[in-house]
Structure 1
Amino acid sequence: MSHAAQASAHGPAHGEGQQHPIKLYLVIWGLLFVLSAFSYMVDYFRLQGYLRWTLIIVFMLLKAGFIVAIFMHMKWERLGLKLAILTPPLALLVLIGLMAIEGDHTFLTRLASFGQEAAVPASVHHD
């Protein structure tokens, strides 16, 4: 059996004209709208501090995940392609987290060793 005959026997090829149901796209658009509304509600209810930023980042990552998975068709891609696209940003997030932890450690070490005056840069002091 030829390759073309095998492809037609198993249905359309993945990359050749595969159509996803319009209902899926409408549901995702609705979900993106709801997540955006939740994100705006964080400001509307005037949440502050870590709760505010945690909720904003969670809603942002959920929206980005749905956009990448559905509208960029990552849900239907092979694992190798997913890893090639998603691993570098995830590695950057890990490195940013490590730098934030190291920065906090350095700041707290300065406070413990030299006191409050040494922790504040000299350009901030107004004599």
Structure 2
Amino acid sequence: MSQPTTQNEGQHHPIRLYLVVWVWLFVLSACSYLVDFFHVAGYLRWSLILIFMALKAGLIVAVFMHMAWERLALTYAILVPPLALLVFVGIMVFESEYTLFTRVAYFVAGS
């Protein structure tokens, strides 16, 4: 008697999901290029570019790296460190004005 073999080939997703994600990536890239095409300037330009970049990265991580179907602990292990870095960058941006003010005050007072 031979025992039936079971093969775990992993989780297969329909091709439609990948095509939809590729279309969304194309649309988001087109929107990012349109920001330059329409000569958007200043903080709005950089905000839009960063938003489109984050959305594209989120789609890639969620679907192509299969994070949308992974355990919560693995998701936290991959997503929390970049989020912590963003928090620290935000703190540095917030504190930069104070640091600049302090340097200018002491350099001007010292001369």
1:31 to 15, 24, 42: 24
Which segment is superposed worse, 23-32 or 95-104?
Answer: 95-104
Output one character per residue of 1:94-117: Cα deviation in whole Å (capped at 9) or x when no partner: 111111111122224455x46xx8
Q: Which has the higher contact order (CA 8 A, sep 6+)?
A: 2
Task: Give 1:21's aligned residue.
Answer: 14
Count of aligned residue pairs for this structure pair: 103
Which segment is superposed worse, 71-80 or 102-111?
Answer: 102-111
Gaps of 5+ in 2: 1-5
Q: Identity, % of aligned pairs?
A: 61
1:59 to 52, 64, 71: 52
Tell which structure's C-alpha radius of gyration is larger: 1
RMSD of aligned residue pairs (Cα, Å): 2.0
Query: Counterparts of 1:105 and 1:50 in 2: how far apart (Å)?
Result: 21
1:17 is paired with a residue whose SS is coil
- Residue 45 of structure 2 aligns to which amino acid in structure 1? R
Structure-2-length-normalised TM-score: 0.84
